[in-house]
Structure 1
Amino acid sequence: MLADDQHYEGTSVQVHEDFPASKSQLHQTPHLAKLASQGMTFSAAYSPSSVCSPTRLSLQTGRNPAALGMTRAGPSLRESAGQMFVGAESRREILDDEITLGEVLQSAGYATAHFGKWHLGGGGPERHGYDVSDGDLGNEHAAKFAGDNPVDIVGMTERAVAFMQSQQLAKKPFFIQMSYHALHCPENASAKNKTKFAESGRKNGRRGLNAAITADLDDGVGALMQAVDGLGLAQTTYLIYMSDNGGSGGGRQLIRGSKGSVLEGGIRVPLVVAGPEIPAGSYASQRVVGYDFFPTICQLAGVDISAMEQLEGGDLRGILRGGDGPVKRADEFLVFHFPHYQATPPQSAIFLGDYKWIYDYQSKSGQLFHIAADMGEARDLSKSLPELAEKLQLQLDDYLTRVAAKMPQINPSYDPENVPAVPRGGGRLRLRRREKGEERRVKREG
């Protein structure tokens, strides 16, 4: 179950065991909270990217978006935008020769389904390992559904339940990816939840609508949970819930930054997993990333993936069964690469243990944070730990070179005397600059 643009602190689950503030005071997600009480909540879970399409491709392939060459959901800024750099080249769709999670599970005898937002082109899910799907859908599909079926949450649930019922009758194992359109189009939230938040004194513009669509999404999660229980599948089924990236706007209590940023607010997301052998009401503090689920799901399904040498994720089964060891991956570090302008100038980040180094390509400088002690990234340690900062920069450079990551390029039209502001937040990027005393607005899809 993949939410869209849901902030780390955007649910009523206390996502960090040590911080009550990690539980939203605005959003109400009782069904997700129930799922957390039945399973494991991850306090340091990360989406592969700070924007949606790269995360979606990463989940399908088990690889880092930097290695995949997809780091942007829409067009990058071009020379005409006036920034110091031109955004890195980023491909726009999944390739036919990429082996997906759906294809691997199909080959092992699983029935597979993908409902909701695909946003990867390439002919849609049924061309890439899914027996049943809603087709090659993007963000535009969300706006088509309102009323009693806000952003198709109810419709997606009905199709998923029917799929589960048919596979149960066929006695066939199944895998479903629910790629929800929510939290897009919050103005399409159900009337009952709009009213609910208005009556609660929470009719506060877009934040109130966001809370309403979040509640609608939670209702969809609850309906799926109820169906799994009603079909007698709870003892043999894993339920995984996470977001594709952080939310827009930032300004939360514990972490800063937003969608389109490698700060914690752009990549740190809610993650809850329930299922067989997972301790109820438990927490995991190990740092995990979305592409860990490719090898994890395959191992849970008994699929041999030893020949898939390009996988970058690690097996989470030990953690899910209550272990406290680190995740074993091909590399000891985690890299997040966003060579574009959106919430910030182009940046990359690398985690090694509890330390995080962020490199800004525009300023040619970096910041070092001890994330376990400083989730808000308020205390730059680069001056006091210069050797560690240098080590992390070398590891970051080596990784990006090894995977042939696409990099931002110097803009030949850059004018340092006429630089537009880089806006905060994600989605549609609006830049403003002055030319000959007149103000001109330049728009690019983010």
Structure 2
Amino acid sequence: MPSQRPNILLIVIDCLRADRTFDDDRTAQTPGLHALAERGTLFTHLITANSMTIPCMTTMFSGMYPAHHGVRAMVGARVSDSVPLLAELLRVNGYHTYAEATGPLSQFYRLDRGFDQYEFRDGVKSPMLGEWGDGLIRRFANGEFREPWFTYLHLWGVHRPRQVSPAYNKPEFGRTEYDRAISSYDARLRELLKAIDLDNTIVLVTGDHGEKIPENNLENQVEFFKKSLSKGSQGKASSAWVRTRRKAVASLRAGWFSTARLLYRAGVLDSPLASVTGHGYHVYDSLVRVPLVVAGGPVPAGRLISEQARQIDIMPTILDLAGLADETPHTADGRSLTPFMHGETLVEEPAFIETCQNSREPSTFYGVRYDGYKYAYDANNPKVPEELYDLTADPRETKNLAASLPRKAAELRALIESHLDQAATAAVSMTDELSDVEMAGLAEHLRKLGYVE
């Protein structure tokens, strides 16, 4: 017998870009995700609140912007116990809550609050494409999750080091390794969804943030250079050789950022960060535009929404779909997206974005996406060029209009400054909660994942 409330499966694929998954010019093969989208609603322009995992997942679970919940860096901050989280609200209302987490999402960050079971695994050693994934699919097929359940599944294989099934490691499944990883995970998700009763389960698939991948010869050369430097920097932190290599990599990376900005000012590069790959350093759409598919249960089929949605909207949307809209906490900055699913419209709201540092201090590089434009600037460094893009005429953000449209740039900058002022009372202190032992353990974990040098 179906449970009174629908089951909810939230799948977060790390580094999943919207354009590489659903745009017409994609080279990845994603029939599974397209079939799921046809059964429900596809949001093609969900904008993340940050360009790194921990701030983004804290936003997804709290419905709050990073400037509000306070987790604005990968090191040194974790969500306050006073912030209501999604799993807590669902559990209090009768849900059995499960998490299959990976990457940097250890219990240290307190995002396990509200989960009856929070399983943390190594996403490289226990990938969805291997035996671990086989076991997870069996658990769903055998009904091992008590209804009504909420399950959060974080998948790592699109993130570096990318995981590609041998059968999909061919040009027809993607032009790049990144695209072939998406094709591989699409096929695996098809197997997972066959084990789930979609009539009684709402499935949400999204990315925590995007990823800049090499797009030209220069970027391919830079990527190869970075990999060659990093090979010798893996290992235990206690190794003097490893520490030296890591410092060298960090120094070279910082030097290249500075050089790239100088080349941009001289007109040699089209963008101040044109040759940089990965994520965390900017607010370009390749880094912050992810898809959101919502399907199953009572969700109407066949909706495609190109209007802007925001990562802060995911928590209120899930509560609304569960029949718990009244439980949305007053602390949440987002709103439910369910009106879109029923053919209604919502007035566009600005999507505020931050970058993230691999240090205890938050970045001061901010952006906003609103009214067809993207604006970004560094609040603490006037030497960093401000950037303004007309997203309708220039969706790839190649022509910086900040100098030619100063009034529009000033208008959007004022929006960001107002947003930051309103969120000035952050929920998290970044200073005195962490012991030296905790900081050392966290730093070592993030080093192994390549987040810090």
TM-score where L is the length of structure 2: 0.70
Cα offset, 1:341, TM superposition: 8.2
Q: 2:353 aligns with which of 324, 330, 336?
A: 336
1:41 maps to amino acid: L
2:130 equivalent to 1:145: no
Q: 2-side partners of 1:48 and 1:201: how far apart?
A: 30
1:103 corresponding residue in structure 2: 88
Q: Give the direction of change, closer, same or farther, for the CA distance of 1:148–1:120 in structure 2 (3 Å limit).
A: closer
Q: Give the direction of change, closer, same or farther, for the CA distance of 1:94–1:121 in structure 2 (3 Å limit).
A: farther
Counterparts of 1:205-216 in structure 2, within 5 Å, are: 207-208=176-177, 210-216=178-184
1:53 corresponding residue in structure 2: 54
Runs of 5+ consecutive residues of structure 2 not aligned to the other structure: 1-10, 217-270, 427-445
1:17 corresponding residue in structure 2: none
2:45 maps to amino acid: A
SS in 1 for 2:279: coil
Q: 2-side partners of 1:134 and 1:444: how far apart?
A: 21
CA-to-partner distance for each residue in 1:173-225, whole Å, 9 max, x for gaps?
2211111122135565434334xx27x597x8xx33x3443233223311232
1:190 corresponding residue in structure 2: 165
Q: Give the direction of change, closer, same or farther, for the CA distance of 1:358–1:341 in structure 2 (3 Å limit).
A: farther
Cα offset, 1:109, TM superposition: 0.6
Q: 2-side partners of 1:160 and 1:382: how far apart?
A: 51
Q: Give the direction of change, closer, same or farther, for the CA distance of 1:368–1:271 in structure 2 (3 Å limit).
A: same
Q: 2-side partners of 1:161 and 1:147: how far apart?
A: 16
Q: Give the direction of change, closer, same or farther, for the CA distance of 1:32–1:127 in structure 2 (3 Å limit).
A: closer
Between 1 and 2, higher relative CO (CA 8 Å, sep ≥ 6) is seen in 2
Q: 1-side partners of 2:194 and 2:162: how far apart?
A: 27
SS in 1 for 2:206: strand
Cα offset, 1:258, TM superposition: 5.5
Counterparts of 1:256-271 in structure 2, within 5 Å, are: 259-260=279-280, 261-271=282-292
CA-to-partner distance for each residue in 1:254-298, whole Å, 9 max, x for gaps?
x98862220111101122221345443331021111220111111
Q: 1-side partners of 2:66 and 2:50: how far apart?
A: 7
Q: 1-side partners of 2:162 and 2:156: how far apart?
A: 13
Q: 1-side partners of 2:113 and 2:417: how far apart?
A: 32
Q: 1-side partners of 2:326 and 2:127: how far apart?
A: 42
Q: 1-side partners of 2:353 and 2:71: how far apart?
A: 12
1:2 corresponding residue in structure 2: 12
Q: 1-side partners of 2:31 and 2:198: how far apart?
A: 19
Q: 1-side partners of 2:103 and 2:79: how far apart?
A: 10
Q: 1-side partners of 2:126 and 2:337: how far apart?
A: 36
- How many residues align? The count is 359
Counterparts of 1:34-433 in structure 2, within 5 Å, are: 34-73=35-74, 75=75, 91-117=76-102, 119-122=104-107, 127-135=112-120, 137=121, 141-145=122-126, 149=130, 152-162=132-142, 164-167=143-146, 172-184=147-159, 186=161, 188-194=163-169, 197=170, 200=172, 207-208=176-177, 210-228=178-196, 233-249=197-213, 251=215, 259-260=279-280, 261-305=282-326, 308-326=329-347, 332-338=349-355, 340=357, 347-361=365-379, 362=381, 363-404=383-424
Q: Is the 8 A contact 1:49 1:336 kept in 2?
A: yes
Considering fraction of residues, name the structure with more helix. Answer: 2
SS in 2 for 1:28: coil
CA-to-partner distance for each residue in 1:15-54, whole Å, 9 max, x for gaps?
xxxxx22xx22x2222112112222222211122111111
Q: Is the 8 A contact 1:45 1:289 kept in 2?
A: yes
Q: 1-side partners of 2:114 and 2:105: how far apart?
A: 13
SS in 1 for 2:421: helix
